[in-house]
Amino acid sequence: MRDRPDRDALLAIARETLLKDLLPQIAAEHRMTVLMVARALEIVGREIVAGDAADMAFAAGVAAVYERALPCEAAAFDVLARRLAVDIRADALTPDRKRAVHVLLLAEARARVALGNPRYLDAE
C-alpha cells in the first residue's frame, strides 16, 4: 500500500507553500528565483501526471513513417528519431512523407508545450 499523500499531492502542497507562505516574505531581488522554482515544480507535476503517453505517440508516429515496428527500447527510438533528423536535413523525404512528418512533429511539439507552458496554448 502506498503512503499518502501521493506524489502529486505532495508536490502540489510543496509548491503551494512556496508561493503562498514563503514568497510574500522573500526580498524583492529573490522573488524571481522563487517563481522559477515554482515553475519548475509545476512542470514536473504535470509531467508526472501525463506519464510517457506523448513520447509513445511520437515513437509510434516515427515508426509508422518508416513502416517499422514500434521500437520497445528507448535506444531504438533514438535511432529512429536520429534518422528522421538526418532525412529532413538531406531533404530525403517524399512529399507525402514530409506532410506526415510535419503533422507528427507539430503534435509532438504541442504536447510538450502543453506540459511545459500550457498558457502559451491559451493565447492561440
Partner 1 sequence: MTPPGERLGPWLARALAAKACRIERWAKLGGGAIQENWAIDVTIEGGPRAGALALVLRTDAPSGVAASHSRVHEYALLAAAHGAGVTVPEPLAVCVDPGVIGKPFYVMRRAEGTAAGHILTRDDKWHGDRIALVARLGEELARIHSIRPPRDDLSFLEIPSQPPAEAAIAEYRAALDGYDQPRPALEWGLAWLAANAPPTRELVLCHRDYRTGNYMADAIGLTAILDWEFAGWGDPYEDIAWFCAKCWRFGVNAREAGGMADRETFFRGYERVAGRSIDRTAVYYWEVMAHARWTTIALMQGWRHVSGAERSLDLALTGRRVAELEYELLRMTAPAPRAREA
Which residues form the interface with partner 1 (CB under 8 A)?
33, 36-37, 39-40, 43, 78, 81-82, 84-86, 88-89, 91, 95-96, 98-99, 101-102, 105-106, 108-110, 112-113, 115-117, 120, 123
Amino acid at 26: I
Closer to partner 1 at the Cβ: 9 or 40?
40
CB of 49 to partner 1, least distance (A): 17
Closer to partner 1 at the Cβ: 3 or 23?
23
Taken in order 46, 48, 52, 53, the sign of the CA dihedral is negative
Give φ, ψ of 66 to 5 degrees: -95, 10
CB of 85 to partner 1, least distance (A): 4
CB of 46 to partner 1, least distance (A): 12
CB of 8 to partner 1, least distance (A): 20
What 3-state DSSP class applies to 112? helix
DSSP 7-37: HHHHHHHHHHHIIIIIGGGS-HHHHHHHHHH
Closer to partner 1 at the Cβ: 48 or 109?
109
Calpha distance 13→4 (Å, rounded): 12
Calpha distance 46→118 (Å, rounded): 10
Closer to partner 1 at the Cβ: 5 or 31?
31
